[in-house]
Chains A and B, each alone.
Chain A
Amino acid sequence: MPLWSNLALEDLRDRYRRTVLGLAWIIASFGLFVAVKVFVFGQLTNVSGKEFGVYVTLGFGLWTYINAMVVDACTAYMHSRPWILGTATPYPVFLLQAVFRNWLVFGMILVVMAIALYWKTTPWVPVCLTALPALLTYAVTSLWMAAILAPLCARYRDLFHAVQTSMRLIFFATPILWIPSTSGRLMLLAKLNPISHFVAIVRDPLMYDRFPADSWLVVLAINAVGLVAGIVVYATTRRRIAHWV
């Protein structure tokens, strides 16, 4: 296994070492969150309990990854300060470490999401499989986002707090606990929020057997711009990161 995956694994082990449940805490806390959300917000919606349960499990599972990844992307360099100042390890190791660590957690949440699909209200059709390449774009997006956020947050420490705060707000602006089709204003909000498109390319084919072409366009466009920006930011900040962290 390469270095970055070992470091990521060790991060997770450190987090749950000497706990009885260990990594099962990830599944337990996610499951409890979803259960409470379905119980409370299910009262406020007119769709069936089954459908809303799957909707929230998928949406919140994806959101959990996106939120954790964005916040971790900010600290990818800061978190590795002693390594950056103590070894000449190439910086992409720290970016890959942050992405892989989040995928390890996401992997366990994906298991819960897969189980929730047992209650899927629509039949299984080939278009459902487009959720898999959609998950692949998550990995790509995470990498260039870390390449952008990690150096900028190390240089401008306020940015990290700004990102953290905005993510908390964006949660409510993303169709996870509410369904866009219920009102025109919510529909507009979902259209303007880029994260709702990231959620849609995984959730729509699984829930509604529908291929969200417009959301895919948005996601691919963001990735095209982001990849270039990621390379530019990485290359221009590389020489000064040791002074910033």
Chain B
Amino acid sequence: MQLSADHLCIDFPLSAMGHSTAFAPVPGAPPLGGRIHNARGHSFVRAIDDVSFSLGRGDRLALVGHNGSGKSTLLRVLAGIYFPTSGSVHSSGHVSGIFNMSLGFRQEASGYRNLVLKGLMAGRTRAQIEAALPEIAEFTGLGPYLDMPLQSYSQGMAMRLAFAATTAFSNDILVMDEWIGAGDAGFQEKIIGRMTDFLHASTIIVLASHSTSLLRRIANKAIWLEQGRVRMAGGIDVIDEYEASIMPRGPSPAIRRRVREGHGLWWLPSESGSEGPGHLLWNIADAPLDLQLFVIGPDGRRQPVRNVIDQAGAWTTADWVRPGMVFEVGSPKSEQPLARCAIP
């Protein structure tokens, strides 16, 4: 069993481009949305840009990233909803997507009728659906409500129905978007339990969520998307990196001002009187695009601390930083650093 993407790109046509004067990026803000480019007189948003990965039996991939970073689009390509502009998706079987919990649900029809429709939608026969119904009914815990119209359900109850139906009729490869965070605590445990069942059934799961704690419990691989590109890929440590980048204790306006005023790579100790960590600041003119922040290890070799950095920025030093450590900013292609700084 496998699911892989090979140099996947997706362009969304922009039918109407407004005045482009408002596009100046806000300094320090995370990049939102895909890059806008023009071809053949039309404007496109590149929602997914050269994404490749390969998943095998039992892999559970977490997608993290800011709003508009391409997570949902990537999931929809994997599920066969969007066709790739270039590149390709290969899967060994049918991919089921769970995107919208109200999808395919008729507000006026009963819970049971909705379950049957959902099963038909997933390509099951009537007999298969009838056989699966008792188990689904038990999993939802909705009891007599299954005979009532869906509009009498609370949102959480509708979600229970949706999750139970979708996973019961899903195939071996499952992509899920965002909504596992919904529902009450008891049902969330059921969801994670069912995910674990999937793991034993050696399925492949790809899921996107902003709930990093849930992702950590389910995933064994992670991809961090930014502007449709893979910013970082690997194990669940990618989730830690992403979380660190969105922490509210990021560079304060005062630090960003200092970044703009300075030049090179320099150390800014925490303000006198406060116990917080210090900052490494850098501002390098005419820097190449593949800038990285390195630390010189005890063996004299450099190790990347930040894989992708802008030409000007700040890093709130981690707990392991000690006086005497040496940091460098440079390109991974060149041994020669662009700037260097030792912690005093």
Contacts and interface: CB of A to CB of B under 8 A. Distances in A.
* Chain A partners chain B: yes
Nearest to B13: A243
Interface string B251-272: 0000000000000000000000
B121 A85 contact: no
Nearest to A88: B80
Given A10-B117, A18-B108, A86 B12 contact: no
A116 interface: no
Contacts of A86: 81, 97, 99-100, 103-104
B140 to A, nearest CB: 20
B99 A85 contact: yes
Contact of A84 (B81, B109, B120): B81
Interface string B84-104: 000000000001010110111
Interface in B38-86: 76, 79-83
B322 interface: no
Nearest to B85: A239
B106 interface: yes
A88 B117 contact: no
Nearest to B122: A87
A50 interface: no
A184 interface: no
A61 B175 CA distance: 47
A18 B83 CA distance: 40
Contacts of B82: 242-243
A14 B99 contact: no
B97 A88 contact: yes
Contacts of B99: 85-86
Given A14-B106, A14-B108, A243-B12, A85 B81 contact: yes
Given A3-B121, A85-B81, A17 B108 contact: yes
Contacts, number: 58
Nearest to B149: A17
A54 B120 CA distance: 42
Interface in B101-117: 102-104, 106, 108-109, 113, 117
A83 B106 contact: no
Contact of B120 (A3, A85, A242): A3
A121 interface: no
A193 interface: no
Contact of A13 (B13, B109, B123): B109
A49 B99 CA distance: 59
Interface string A58-101: 00000000000000000000000011111111000000000000
Contacts of B109: 10, 13-14
Contacts of B83: 239-240, 242
A242 B81 contact: yes
Contacts of B97: 86-88
Contact of A6 (B76, B80, B100, B117): B117
Contacts of A1: 126
Nearest to B109: A10
A90 to B, nearest CB: 10
Contacts of A18: 108
Given A13-B109, A82-B103, A243-B12, A89 B121 contact: yes
Interface in B1-37: 12-13
Interface in A114-172: none
A23 to B, nearest CB: 15
Contact of B106 (A10, A87, A239): A10
B172 to A, nearest CB: 15
Contacts of A7: 117
A243 B106 CA distance: 24
A2 to B, nearest CB: 8
Nearest to B98: A86
B81 A87 contact: yes
Nearest to A89: B121
Contact of B104 (A13, A17, A87, A239): A87
Interface in A188-245: 239-240, 242-243
A139 to B, nearest CB: 22
A85 B76 CA distance: 8
B205 to A, nearest CB: 17
The 3 closest A-B pairs by CB, nearest first: A88-B80, A86-B103, A239-B83
Interface of A: 1, 3, 6-7, 10, 13-14, 17-18, 82-89, 239-240, 242-243
Given A82-B100, A86-B97, A243-B12, 10 more contacts: A3-B123, A6-B117, A6-B120, A10-B117, A82-B102, A83-B121, A86-B99, A86-B100, A87-B104, A242-B83
25 contacts: A3-B120, A3-B123, A10-B117, A14-B106, A17-B108, A18-B108, A82-B100, A82-B102, A83-B104, A84-B81, A85-B76, A85-B81, A85-B99, A85-B100, A86-B81, A86-B104, A87-B104, A88-B80, A240-B13, A240-B83, A242-B76, A242-B82, A242-B83, A243-B12, A243-B13
